[in-house]
Structure 1
Amino acid sequence: MFTSISNFYSSLFRRRSNGLNFNRRRRKINFDKVQYVLIFALEIAVVIAVAFGVVLAFGKQVECSNASMEPTYETSDILLVNTIAYKFSEPKTGEVIAFKPKSNVNASYSVKRVIAVPGDTIYINNGRIYINDEIYKENLEVERIENPGIAASPITLLEDQYFVLGDNRNSSEDSRYESVGFVSNEDILGRVWMTYPFK
């Protein structure tokens, strides 16, 4: 009996001693887990920053108000416009832009394709477009132009003058006509990126 009591107190003392053992090793920090959490947080921050940039760049929506850009864009198509594209570069031949005709702030945005840029000489003869005395090579099938408008004679574009046409060449009010004329940088909203919802 005394032996069992002695054993009981001995075991109790050992438990308490173990509980007060100050020489136990401290837990090591798992640097792999910390690194994983930091990388994950950084990725989330980058995704948020990119999303914010996309909204800034492509957040402007413009409606294609007529058939002048068919078949590329149809009437009532909603187009996403990159509004910062031309903050760092100039419009290039072949790009589709959204702009205010004649700087008319009350007009709706017009959507047309850039055909000639500053310094180019453009004219239309026998339904064909000539840029710097060479036939303009289209990247899409278009009709021969019936009415050359002001481009019936050669026109050399000055600095900050862009000549634009609709892809539906014979049903488009564009740079051939006085109502639109040449487009300047300050009139341009940006480069048309795609339709929305995506087609």
Structure 2
Amino acid sequence: MRLFEIGLVVATLASGFIWLLDALFFAARRKRNAGLLDDGKDPVVVDYAKAFFPVLAIVLILRSFVAEPFRIPSNSMMPTLLTGDFILVNKFSYGLRLPISNTKIFAVGEPKRGDVIVFKPPQSPDQDWIKRIIGLPGDTVAYRGNQVYVNGKPFEYQYVGEYVGKGSGAEMTGASQLTEKLPGRPHAILELDKAAFDQGEGEWTVPPGHYFVMGDNRDRSDDARFWPSHFLPEQNIRGKAFMIWMNCDSIGSLCKNNFDTSRIGSGIQ
């Protein structure tokens, strides 16, 4: 994803520069010489630059400042998001950021507890991950006995039933599906009843300018509980996930016939 972003910026700047350079120094000369040694036509490279620059510029602006597509690569956010979901991320929710550097140039709003966000994890800054915000700056977050506590108050949970997965999510069949009643943002989570590994229990106080994030699939999520730093810097956030626009659960890069049309247009809670 980062290589694509860099390539898009470079291609946009290059095509724009070629078009501008030609307009300032060469176009008038070709027009004057038309009919003599020059037929007055644009060189191929200039012709391509004129054709591609407007398209590239529009894509870059939309992708950098409006909405950006991502594909969910793992089961860490089940059952909210499934492997193969193609989602849109609102790039304007928390402010305008420059492409590549992700530097904020204009603040709009602040992330809220319960938001599902795409970000670059501190330990893997070349990747894009997705989790849910649980702790805000200044919060004390604890996780004990499959229960989340924020500032000493436990979240309430309601058992929904036994989860039945399909495709890449079949491994979670038999897990317990619950509604985690995060204030103002209740959402579904999955828990394994007999998880024979580190549950990531502990207590953490979120420093200023940072957030504590967790996956909804609590026993299949590499989230802030396990990170060396435990916290996500605000400047690493890329945007807020808000809609599923396609689902294709596949092995490798080919979707073949594994489209799930029922998920198209679903909002992300």
Query: Which bracket does the TM-score occupy, shorter chain normalised?
Result: 0.5 to 0.7
Equivalences for 1:83-102 in 2 at 5 Å? 83-87=91-95, 88-102=108-122
Residue in 2 that maps onto 1:170: 219
CA contact (8 A) 2:134 2:214 kept: yes
- State the Cα distance separating 1:93 from its structure 2 match: 0.5
Percent identity (aligned)? 31
Deviations 1:106-154 (A, max 9, x none): 22x10100011101001112211000010123312324586442xx332
- State the Cα distance separating 1:172 from its structure 2 match: 0.7
Q: Structure 1 length normalisation: TM-score?
A: 0.65
CA contact (8 A) 2:116 2:132 kept: yes
Q: 1:179 to 1:192 in 2, by over 3 A?
A: farther
Q: Structure 2 length normalisation: TM-score?
A: 0.49
Q: Aligned partners of 1:148 and 1:98: how far apart in 2? A: 23
**Residue 119 of structure 2 aligns to which amino acid in structure 1?**
F
The yes-or-no answer on 1:68 pairing with 2:76 is yes
CA contact (8 A) 1:113 1:167 kept: yes
The structure with more helix, counted as a fraction of residues: 1
> SS of 1:196's equivalent?
strand
Residue 141 of structure 2: which of 122, 125, 130 is its match?
A: 122
Q: 1:180 to 1:60 in 2, by over 3 A?
A: farther
Residue in 2 that maps onto 1:140: 187
The yes-or-no answer on 1:187 pairing with 2:236 is yes
CA contact (8 A) 1:144 1:169 kept: yes
> SS of 2:232's equivalent?
coil
**Residue 171 of structure 1 aligns to which amino acid in structure 2?**
R
CA contact (8 A) 2:191 2:217 kept: no
Which structure's relative contact order is higher, taking Cα pairs within 8 Å and 6+ residues apart? Answer: 1
Q: Aligned partners of 1:117 and 1:95: how far apart in 2? A: 11
Deviates more, 1:179-188 or 1:168-177: 179-188
CA contact (8 A) 1:121 1:154 kept: yes
- State the Cα distance separating 1:182 from its structure 2 match: 1.2
CA contact (8 A) 1:174 1:180 kept: no
- State the Cα distance separating 1:188 from its structure 2 match: 0.5
Residue in 2 that maps onto 1:32: none
Gaps of 5+ in 2: 1-60, 96-107, 156-180, 247-263
CA contact (8 A) 1:102 1:181 kept: no
> SS of 1:186's equivalent?
helix
Gaps of 5+ in 1: 1-52
The count of corresponding residues between Structure 1 and Structure 2 is: 145
Q: 1:180 to 1:171 in 2, by over 3 A?
A: farther
Residue in 2 that maps onto 1:40: none
- State the Cα distance separating 1:103 from its structure 2 match: 6.4
- State the Cα distance separating 1:75 from its structure 2 match: 0.5
Larger Rg: 1
CA contact (8 A) 1:173 1:180 kept: no
